[in-house]
Amino acid sequence: MKKLFALSLALVMTLSLAACGGKKTEAPADTENKTGTETETPTTGDVKVAVVLKTLASEYWGYVEAGCKAAGDDLGVDVVVVGPGAESDIEGQVSMIEQQIGAGCDAIVCAPNDAGAAQGALQAAIDAGIPVLAVDTNVGIAGQTSFVGTSNVDAAYEGGKWAIEQAGTDAKAVIIYGQEGDNTSNMRMEGYEKACTEAGVEVLAKLSGNNLTDGATKAMEDLLSAYPDQIDIVLCHNDDTAIGAMNACKSAGVSDITIVGFDGNASAVKLILDGELVKATVAQQPYEMGYQVVEAAVKAVKLEPVDEVINAPVQVVTAENGQAYLDNLEAMKG
């Protein structure tokens, strides 16, 4: 079963972060809702879980979607997965959250493009007694049932450390982060900066690539222009950003540089194995996160205890372990 494979994958990862045990959200002592009417715990077959992701237009979020749907199939529940065309479409995502709540769901899962913008719509769900769970990126709203994801600070720290080990402590780095104000972007930037500070590596500049390949290409072009022949390491928000940075470097004839991505997308790993400028990617477990968050949502609907934080480990994927990682990805997709 896909779940068992994904869980076994977590055990064999060569570099994983220690999972933090979350406090459990206990089932309420009674089954009365806020109006005072007695409610019935729905049977599994009647449960509908709505999942609103940052976008469906990327490989990474496709793995999250696949995990969500696999959990729905295994658990016998109705899972609807939606997402805007781009992570920059904050208003579009909020509208999707409102639509899913309005259409009727027993639990809602969200990976917010902007946690502050999403909170209002999700608060309406909490007020209506609908469990709200976050995946990959925490919403952090009072009354939220659970967050399923990785520690972005710790994960980026591992990627930064690996890059510095390759380039040396006298290297100079730049960071291409994601969407302005996005909490995930801020945490990954924090982790990269922590690794650089500890090693005494100077961070020359930080620019936003807006989570897009083209945006990162433009950012990298600006960085190469501002710091010619000075940049040794490029630490990126995600794999699309890393590919954009690589494209800019190749166009400029820059070859002696170490680019690190984030997400563990197959497309990035193939570039690593081909000896391209993208040398590593910090790999999360998007499939397993999707599976686990739907599993937790169903437990919440059935008034079963749910951990407030469910952490997933990561690994730094390089040329040394990239093929094994790709083989595992293919097996998970079935």
- pLDDT at position 97, please? 98
Beta bridge partners of 287: none
Tens digit of pLDDT at every position of the chain (334 positions): 444 444 343 433 333 333 333 445 444 333 344 333 444 555 666 899 999 999 999 888 998 999 999 999 999 999 999 999 999 999 999 999 999 999 999 999 999 999 999 999 999 999 999 999 999 999 999 999 999 998 899 999 999 999 999 999 999 999 999 989 888 899 999 999 999 999 999 999 999 999 999 999 999 999 999 999 999 999 999 999 999 999 999 999 999 999 999 999 999 999 999 999 999 999 988 899 999 999 999 999 999 999 999 988 789 999 999 999 999 888 766 5
Radius of gyration for the alpha carbons in the chain, expressed in angstroms and rounded: 20
Distance (Å, whole) CA 128 – CA 206: 42
Summarize pLDDT for 129-142 with one digit per residue, the tens: 999 999 999 999 99
Least Cα distance to 143 among 127, 162, 163 occurs for 127
Integer distance in angstroms from the first to the last C-alpha of the chain? Answer: 10
The CATH 3.40.50.2300 portion of the chain extends over 18-150+286-312, 152-283
At 147, is the secondary structure helix, strand, or coil?
A: strand
Whether the model clears a pTM of 0.85, i.e. scores above it, the answer is: no
For 38, counting Cβ atoms within 10 Å of its Cβ (0-12 exposed, 13-18 middle, 19+ buried), the class is exposed
Residue listed under structure tokens 């990954």: 188
Encode pLDDT of 218-243 as tens digits: 999 999 999 999 999 999 999 999 99
Helices (H), the chain: 2-12, 59-75, 90-103, 115-127, 152-167, 183-199, 213-226, 239-251, 266-273, 286-301, 322-333
Question: Is the CATH number of domain 18-150+286-312 3.30.1330.10?
Answer: no
Q: 3.40.50.2300, 3.40.50.740, 3.30.360.10, 3.90.550.10: which CATH number matches 152-283?
A: 3.40.50.2300
